[in-house]
Structures are given as structure tokens and as C-alpha cells.
Structure 1
Amino acid sequence: MNAPERENSGRVVTVIGGGGFIGRALVARLVAAGHVVRVAVRNPAKLEALTRAPGEGRVELIKASVVEGNSLAAAFDRADAVVNLVSIMDPDVQKMREINVYGAQRAARVAHECGVARYIHVSAIGASLNSPSAYGRSKGEAERVVRTAFPGASLIRPSVVFGPRDSFMNMFALIAKLSPILPVFASKTRFQPVYVGDVAEAIVRLLGASEGARTVEAGGPDVFTMRELMEFVLDATNRKRLLISVPGFVARLEGKIFEKLPGHILTSDQVAMMGVDNVVHSGVDTLASLGIDPVSLKLVGPSYLGGSVFKSWRRFFS
């Protein structure tokens, strides 16, 4: 059954993986805009706080998983739009493919079968079948299977996403507070950090766009090398630390060691990813194409990267 026609506000939007870092920001914006937001996650009981998001819309928590088609069909029933945010980075390549590729394909196929009008898949800059990392290849393959299953799907590819609950900048801020040395991996690799609120806003605007099948690369206004990012972290945390560039062969060795430990703080695949620039390509749709003036890490970063070790610990591990 096709979803009923509705105006841009007040639609039913299912967000798969809505309890994550980007998901929480997206849900808040959708509720504020007056939408009914179905947050489809494996454990809804942990996300009760999302139902109190302020706005004219509301949140409905529903148990669903990208590995189970029937649960997705229930989450998509009479939905106007679906956003898939689910993605994992794991040393177990088969497990990663099950979620990132087959899960993405299943979600897009079920959404199409349910008559969903607008579908958005959140990918990543660097998604490519030719990526040196298994994660990048899984994201590239996901884009292909999503567009096959749902030809009108739009794709958004963020660079490194920052914000108060991020796991990238906060990790290095935590290291800077605990250690006299701050390691620098892939010191010359370039990144274009993008604010989580801008990524959420881009998704909202893609949902309201007059046409689908768009591909948008989301990066912030500033490009940093990895070394420049570490220097920024030290400035933001008001600390002086010794920056040590980690040679590639040492980084690869450390990745093989740390990926076997709980938490997977560093993996071989992450090391491979860090060897490739993570910036918006030329000649593509960007945040500016959606009328968004992106927020700078320089403006937002110091407000949450400073403070106590305890605060950094909670932000990184929450």
C-alpha cells in the first residue's frame, strides 16, 4: 500500500538507527518540524528520553533491525519517508558486510515494497568499491545495492562528524588529558569535519526536496590535516603535549594489536582509512547545494572539548 499523501510537515518518518550520534540530532529536528518520527532500533527501552524531544511532532519507539525484514516492514508501514543511519565498523569483515551491505539492501528493498515515497541512505565520504579499507568498500557496495533496490534513494556522504557526543574529536581530547604524548596517525591526511547539526539539517532538507536520487557530500568550511586537527585539540583543551607522528608500519602494527582488544579503539581497517583524504570532491552537490552554511569546528569544538577528564570520558563512551 502506498503511503498517504501529506505535506512536508506532519509526515511519518522512520529513522533506522535513530538512537545514535547523528540519529539523535536528526530526530530532534524532525520533531521540531512537526513530523511523527518512528525511531527503529534494536532496544527501544534505552531511548525513552527521545520521546520528550520538544516540538509539534512526536516520537514513536519501535523495535526493528536491518537483519530482519518483517520488523522493517512493520516500521515502514504507512511511512512517508525512511532514513537509514545504521552502519558499523568492525574487524569482523563478514559481520560488517552483513550490516553495512546486506542490511542496507534489505532496508531499501522493504521500504520500496512498502510504498515509501522518499528514502535516504547515510553513507560516507570515501565510500568506494576501490577503497583500501573494508569499511569503505562496504559503504561503496551499500550505495550500489540501495540504488538498485530503491532507484529514487538519495545518498548523503558526511566527512568526519563532530559535535558534543562525537567519538572522534572526543577520543583525542581524552588522550590529550590523560597522556603527555598525543600520537598523530597519517599526519598529512586531510579531513573536512562537519557539524552533526548540519548533517541532520541536510537530511531534513533532502526529505523535503522536490526530487529524489540525489547524492550530497557533507563537509564543513575548514580542511585540516590530521596533525592540524591534533593541534586544534590541544588548543581547545588548553594543554601542551608532545605530538608524535606515528610511522605507517607502526600504525598498522598497533591496529592489529588493538583490534583484538574490547572496544576496538584502533583497527587495521581504520589505519587503512586514515591514509586517504576525507574531503568533499569537486563538482558534486554539497551542503551549499541545500542552502546550508556549514558550522566550523573552530567555533563549536572548544565548547565541548575542554573541561574535565570525567566529562571527556563520558562524552566518548556514552
Structure 2
Amino acid sequence: MNKNILVLGGTGFIGRHVCEKLHREGWRITVPTRRALHAAHVQHLPRVTVIEADVHDPAQLLNLMAGHDAVVNLVAILHGSEDAFERVHVELPLAIAEACAADGVRRVVHISALGASLDGPSRYQRSKARGEEVLRGAGLDLTILRPSVVFGAGDRFLNLFARLQAVFPLVPLAGAGARFQPVWVEDVASAVVASLRDDSSLPMSSVGQTFECAGPDVLTLAELVRIAGRHGSRQRPVLPLPAALARLQARVMELMPGEPLMSRDNLDSMSVDNVANNQWPGLASLGIAAASVHTVAPTYLGQRGGRSQLLGYRHEAGR
């Protein structure tokens, strides 16, 4: 059955992959964005409609709901003040719930975070958990996906560390011992599609469920940096920073223009492991065999242009 899906955050890293997979399903997708030029990665898809709109405006959000069968919320930030996290991670989910109720849209897939917790050490984690609570209390047909750190072609994670090692002789690294369970962006996008698809072959219904989206490898940040260097242009020594120096480094980065590479709130998040705890079902419950960072990273790190993308598609096709 053809579906009309409203994808909030569809111009971002994960959103682009979600739109491509929804398009392959034959579904129609609407992607709102404040400026249409930000949607260059998805607007070439025939079944994607790009609309200039501000999703934080309740009236505009309500107008966007009309004619849609489901909403996917991918809007998130990694850095910001308490007010910024509240606006994006809590107030927007509340506005989505209210707009869904007003328009009669029941189905919502919400991308949260693996470390979301009301008593988490960071503003990011606490605000993500409050956003989940808002949606759970709204009486929606809700699926929550909780990914660990997401990697893949075009990411700002492994690619960033690869670029840094191409320039600097060593990598002074805050939070070097923090543990992650990195998940491929294509697997996260597949989880969104599986959550929206009417598929009786799945071992369980995704409606009303929370899923941990994590890959098969548990790795420290230092190990991930070494992987980025090994498959990028060159591998540099990693210099783990003591806590006080790491916090100073993060503070300096916050004061630099543009989006910081690291913030003190990021360090707070990394004080607890970002790995699956099996409190909720994982990707396998959605019929997805998670790909390893060791397998996927070499297909795009250190590559340029279409060849990298081709290798990524070839890997996916062979799974």
C-alpha cells in the first residue's frame, strides 16, 4: 500500500538515507526545511516533495500534517544551551503530538538516542528522555528508535577523525576510553522503514515499542579514531587527555566560531557507556543484521566521489 510519510529532519545525515529507503518502498515523502537548498541530497528523488517551512512553528507543523499517514521525527542537536535542547528535543515532540492529535495522524516513528535517561549526566541525554516521555504520554501509535553513534558515508564522526589525522601529527583526545556501539546509518534507515512497513513476517510489532539500534562492535573512542585513521589517509598516534585537560579543551572548542567539535556536554554524555543494555529489543527484532564498522568504514573513508558511494551500495546489496 502506498503511504504518505512526513519526514522531519529529512535533510540531515540520517534523514537523507531514510528518504532514499522510503522512496525505494514506493512511498511518497514530504520533507520540510527552512531553506530548499538544504534539501539538495533528497529533492532529486521523484517521490520526495520539499516544502519550505519551520517545523518549530505549531501552525506550520499542523498544516504539514494534512494528508499524511505517518510522521518520522529525526530532528536533533548535539550542542547547545539548556533552552536549545528543550526546544528541539522536548517542545518539538510535544508540538508533533499536538499536531497529530489535531489532524488525526496516529503513526509516529521517533529517533531518540541510546543514552537517553532522565537522570543522565548530560543535557543532551536528559532532554532526549523527556522528549520520549512526551510522546509516550500522547496516546500515539509510537515507535522509538535509540541509536548509538551513527557512522556511514557523509558522517561527521569517522570522517572528521580521518580528516584531523590527515593534518595533525597526533590526536589529543578527550573521552578516549568512552565506549560506543556504532551503528551504520543504512541500518538505522532500515529500522525506520521496518517500523513503518506492514510486515507480518517480523517477529514482533514495532508499534508501542522501543528498539536499541546498535552495531555488533563495542569500541572505545580511541579505537574508533584509529579505525578512521587506518582507513583514511593516515593513522596518527592518539593522546588520551586527562579529565581536567579534556574539559579545558572542550571549553575552548565551545568558544570557537561555528559548531564545536566537542563540548563539555559531550564529555558528560561520554562519562557513561553508549552501548546496548538489552533493556529493549535490538535491530534483529526488526529483521536487520547490523553491519560492522570494520566492514563498512573501508568503503568510504579515504575515498572520494562516486566510487565510495558505489562500494557502500555494493556492500548493502550483498547483505
TM-score if structure 2 supplies the norm length? Answer: 0.89
Alignment of 1:1-318 (within 5 A): 7=1, 10-53=2-45, 58-209=47-198, 210=205, 212-237=207-232, 239-262=234-257, 263-307=259-303
Which residue does the alignment assign to 2:314?
none
Contact 1:66 1:99 in 2 (8 A): no
Identify if the C-alpha distance between structure 1 residues 158 and 175 changes in structure 2 by more than 3 Å, giving closer, same or farther: same
- Report sequence identity in percent: 37
Structure 2 letter corresponding to 1:271: L
Separation in 2 of the partners of 1:126 and 1:49? 29
CA distance in 2, matches of 1:125, 1:92: 21
In 2, are the aligned partners of 1:185 and 1:274 still within 8 Å (CA)? no
**Cα distance in 2 for residues equivalent to 1:243 and 1:299:** 22
Cα distance in 2 for residues equivalent to 1:297 and 1:126: 20
Tell me the TM-score normalised to structure 1 length: 0.89
**8 Å Cα contact 2:106-2:140 kept in structure 1:** no
Instruction: Write out per-residue CA displacement over residues 246-272 of structure 1, whole angstroms, 9 at most, x where no aligned residue.
Output: 111111111112112122221110111
Residue 16 of structure 1 and its aligned partner are, at CA, apart by 0.6
SS of the residue corresponding to residue 85 of structure 2 reads helix
| Deviation larger for 97-106 or 197-206 | 97-106
> Residue 17 of structure 1 contacts residue 86 of structure 1 at CA under 8 Å; is this kept in 2?
yes
| CA-based RMSD | 1.8
Residue 278 of structure 1 and its aligned partner are, at CA, apart by 0.7
Letter in 2 for 1:79: H
Contact 2:181 2:274 in 1 (8 A): yes
Give, as a single letter, the amino acid of the residue that structure 2 aligns with 1:40: P
Moved over 4 A (4+): none
**Matched residue of 2:109: which SS?**
strand
Is the 1:18–1:24 contact (alpha carbons within 8 Å) kept by the matching residues of 2? Answer: yes
